[in-house]
Amino acid sequence: MEIPTTASFLDYYDKVRQRTERLLAVIPPDVMDWTFAPGKFTVADQIRHIAAIERNMFAETFAGRPSRYTGCGKELADGRDAVIDYFRRMHAETVAIIGSLTSGDLQRKSITPGNAAITTWKWMRSLTEHEIHHRAQLYMYLAMLEIKTPPIFGLTSEEVAAQGYTGDESPLR
């Protein structure tokens, strides 16, 4: 589906971000440096990566500039509060850049780091897909650590199943 205006995109992206924020709220400070295997992203790396890619790759290319993403290490932010602050600050900067784009800007081509030309509104959809992908990884990390996480859309699958739909009723009646 085409993104017709930056306002419509930002409204949708705000909802995606709210779900990510609810997940970040349950992450305890003592697991920020945890990873499931040596050399893999830590919990903090995942959060910094979402933020750094959002601002330094996506926002830059939306604005017609080359990516300036260089990684997601501790030099960007260390410790739970600093990482969450960095995450929010990069998002605010990205929202300001997106908010400055015109409907015409959405139709022009952005150049990805792989040197591919893609219509900007289509590239903007990739931003949300990227965040959702890494949010899912965070859900897995927290599950491995046995940390209770919030349901994405209000109910867990168990809560939906407990409502007892038998298949006999039409949900559209």
- In-domain check, residue 167: no
- In-domain check, residue 135: yes
The Cα 78–Cα 80 span in angstroms is: 7
- In-domain check, residue 48: yes
Q: What is the pLDDT of residues 55-104, one digit of tens each?
A: 999 999 999 999 999 999 999 999 999 999 999 999 999 999 999 999 99
pLDDT at 91: 98
- In-domain check, residue 171: no
Q: For 19, what's the count of Cα atoms within 13 Å in the CB-facing half-sphere?
A: 18
- In-domain check, residue 172: no
pLDDT at 158: 82
Q: For 141, what's the count of Cα atoms within 13 Å in the CB-facing half-sphere?
A: 26
Q: What is the CATH number of the domain that holds 136?
A: 1.20.120.450
pLDDT at 155: 79
First CA to last CA distance, the chain: 29
Q: Is the predicted pLDDT of residue 167 greater than 70, yes or no?
A: no
% pLDDT > 70, the chain: 95
pLDDT at 168: 66
Number of domains in the chain: 1
- Domain containing residue 118: 6-162
Q: What is the pLDDT of residues 119-146, one digit of tens each?
A: 999 999 999 999 999 999 999 999 999 9
